[in-house]
Amino acid sequence: MENSTQEIVISCLCGKHQHTWALPASIKALSYGICHCNSCRKSSGGSLYQGSIEWPFSLIRVSGTDQIPDGPKTFLQQYEFGSSLHVWFCETCSTKLYWQYLKDAPKFELFPGLLPETLVESGQISLSCNLQIHIADTLDEGLSSCFFGLDGEIGLRYQGGRDSPSYIAQERHKAPPALPAIVEGECHCGQSTLKLSSRSGAKFPVELDTSKESQLLNSTHISAWALVSPEDIISVNNMPLHILEKLKSNTKDGVIGPLGVYTTDKTVIFFCNKCSASVLTQPLQSTKTSVLKVGASLLNSQAGARKEDILDWSEVQPVVLEHHNIRLDPRNF
């Protein structure tokens, strides 16, 4: 007899928080919505959007125990994103696990980058985007044209919230502004700041990352990083980069001022320990000429979400995530 439910495990990057949920066997498709507002982009740091899946399912256990806590937020760090919306994340590795809406009946939504890939790739569950909001905040449509529903069409795109008129793309006639002498940026809460300057005078190359590490780190399927030379970083939280590196070399994973630090087998990750936004990552095999990855959404720009006055998209290869109905080709910008 077929089970009426299947168990799925949601885990953060470091594995400290593992939540096992009972997903009804009748659920064969999950849809998610995407928000492109400035706040959502800043809260991620390493993504040009933020998405979420409504998650009304039953929690079975947490972190391998049989004890059912008082909701999935138990032991997670809380960030008050707004008066009616909280974010719950892992304080060790910064993975955002849930939004919690406080209006009406409180409900949780799961960040789609955490959904186990095996469920989607095996065809047990189909995943698609059916709603996009606050496109107008992007100025340039961001990455909104690359998310498709199960019918193969771009889902509803709204100028503001879902009660606003649908978005009508505006043709761009003006070239993006020239690269500013100083590029500044900050996370959603404003606690973590960046200041960059391109010594070569060239825009910073973009890397689109779909690795599982980046999906967990930014809770989205596509991460956007600005590739920056250490010499181009004037300061992080008003500290020169070499001071930050010295502090890291003298401490284990934990906290350096307002930054959290977490090390995987490949990367040192610096994130805001208040709002969890990704600030920058550094390869473990760090040399004087190493390229650092800075969260693209943190950087301030007059050109739009893709920040074409700051970022160089010319060498970015198309991204196709067939099982997720995502197709992104920067040549169409």
Q: What is the CATH number of the domain that holds 86?
A: 2.170.150.70
Residues 76 and 211 in one domain: no
Residues 113 and 32 in one domain: yes
Task: Residue 275: name the closest of 293, 249, 295 by CA.
Answer: 295
Residues 226 and 117 in one domain: no
Instruction: Say if 330 falls within a structural domain.
Output: no
Contacts of residue 160, Cβ cutoff 8 Å, sequence gap at least 6? 133, 134, 136
Which residue in the block uniquely carries the two structure tokens 């890939």? Answer: 117
Instruction: Say if 171 falls within a structural domain.
Output: no
Residues 135 and 195 in one domain: no
Distance CA 233, CA 181 (A): 12
Q: 125: domain range?
A: 6-157
* 227-275 residue pLDDT tens: 999 999 999 999 998 888 888 877 778 889 899 999 998 899 999 999 9
Residues 129 and 205 in one domain: no
Residues 137 and 94 in one domain: yes
85-111 average pLDDT score: 87
Instruction: Say if 48 falls within a structural domain.
Output: yes
pLDDT score of 1: 39
CA 216 → CA 46, 61, 114, distances in Å?
Answer: 11, 20, 6
Instruction: Say if 57 falls within a structural domain.
Output: yes
* 274-292 residue pLDDT tens: 999 999 998 887 554 588 9
Residues 20 and 147 in one domain: yes
For residue 38, give both structure tokens: 């400035």
Instruction: Say if 55 falls within a structural domain.
Output: yes
Residue 132, strand partner residues = 34, 157
Residues 200 and 150 in one domain: no
Residues 136 and 101 in one domain: yes
Instruction: Say if 327 falls within a structural domain.
Output: no
Instruction: Say if 1 falls within a structural domain.
Output: no
Residues 71 and 190 in one domain: no
| Eight-state DSSP code of residue 150 | T
Torsion of CA 75, 80, 81, 85, to 10 degrees: 80
Residues 147 and 201 in one domain: no
Instruction: Say if 222 falls within a structural domain.
Output: yes
Residue 181 backbone zone (phi > 0: left; psi -120 to 50: alpha; other: beta)? alpha
Residues 211 and 143 in one domain: no
Distance CA 215, CA 143 (A): 16
| Eight-state DSSP code of residue 213 | H
* 295-305 residue pLDDT tens: 999 999 989 99
Task: Residue 305: name the closest of 237, 206, 196 by CA.
Answer: 206
Please give the model's pTM, rounded to 2 decimal places.
Answer: 0.91
Total domains, the chain: 2
